[in-house]
Amino acid sequence: MNPISARIKFRHLQCFLETARLQSVGKAAQNLAISQPAVSKTLRELENELGVKLFERNGRNIRLSAYGEVFQRYAGASVSSLKQGVDMVAQARSAGGFRVRIGALPTISAKVLPRAIAAFKEQDKDTIVEILTGENAVLMSQLQMGDLDLVVGRLTRPDRMLGLSFEHLYTEQIGFFVCSQHPLMQKKPFVLDGIADFTILMPGKGAVIRPTVDQFLAANGFGNFSDIIESVSTLFCKSFVKTTNAVWIISRGVVIDEVERGTIVELPVDTSTTTGPVGLTMRAETPLSLPAQLLVHHIREAALG
């Protein structure tokens, strides 16, 4: 932060703008309900911080200097934005509070998002956080239409990014996951071809990682499997893979909690070619509400953690 801007306070801008509008220190003091010496002192502090004279004498009155005219445009815009922010908060509170709507793809839902929302709620218990899950295409459409404030997960296809921006948080890979006592875990050495003997569980055609999964399988010589289940339901997939000998192909972030507990294990498959960016997708030209900005901050912190 610029050390000068850090020392300029709202009272400096308020006194400056009122004095510039009325072209009188006395009238500005009267409107602000403070003494004339207090206004003069505040203006001197502001001029000292900026290193320029903001006003010139015009007979018994004062007028803006060339520097003052430049500064007035920016000071006025800053105060106007601040007032709009205060009004927005007041309106939201009178309407029953803020609501932040998040589209969550499975890759970030298991660890990052719960930590972020828990930290957010420690600071803001009043804001309602609404989390929606679904296929990537649907969530991106809802984001573009303004039905969501942001989407967290893998970077989507370029044709779905119209009017949107992406902020990269971290990268992750796809993995092959099975139950802890799976027959493939007993075979030494492990051979990837062996997965064809079991039910293959993978995201549906609309999932953002499906093209990456298909490319990886094709590169390793796999055609069409004879036994496939397609699902984006993490609840179903976790339960199914733990109670059967299915092989689940999914982003590592989706199952990290189960892997840490040992209820699901990852097959020793080199999937380094499937690395992809995970982050925040937002509308490019629409500023987030203050609570949404705070939540984004906590999502960044949780991703770094």
Whole-structure pTM value: 0.64
Q: What percent of the chain has pLDDT over 90?
A: 46
For the stretch 54-69, what's the b/e string if a residue is b when 16 or more beta carbons lie within 10 angstroms of its beta carbon? bbeeeeeebebeebbe
pLDDT at 137 over 90: no
Cα 233 versus chain centre, distance: 23
Taking Cα atoms as reference points, which of 74, 56, 76 lies closest to residue 65?
Answer: 56
Question: Under a CB-based contact definition with an 8 Å cutoff, are residues 198 and 227 in contact?
Answer: yes
Dist CA 75 CA 87 (whole Å): 18
Dist CA 61 CA 236 (whole Å): 77
Taking Cα atoms as reference points, which of 167, 133, 165 lies closest to residue 286?
Answer: 165
pLDDT at 265 over 90: yes
Which domains does the chain possess? 3-94 (1.10.10.10), 99-171+277-304 (3.40.190.10), 174-274 (3.40.190.290)
Higher pLDDT, residue 229 or 235: 229
Quote the pLDDT of residue 91.
61
Taking the CA atoms of residue 193, residue 135, residue 111 and residue 169 in that order, the dihedral angle to the nearest 10 degrees is 90
Express each pLDDT in 95-104 by its tens digit.
Answer: 556 889 999 8
Q: If 0-12 CB within 10 Å is exposed, 13-18 middle and 19+ buried, where does residue 195 land?
A: buried
Higher pLDDT, residue 25 or 86: 25
Given pLDDT bands bounded at 50, 70 and 90, which one contains residue 39?
very high
Given pLDDT bands bounded at 50, 70 and 90, which one contains residue 174?
very high
In sequence order, the 6+-apart residues with CB closer than 8 A to the CB of 43 are 12, 15, 16, 19, 25, 54, 55
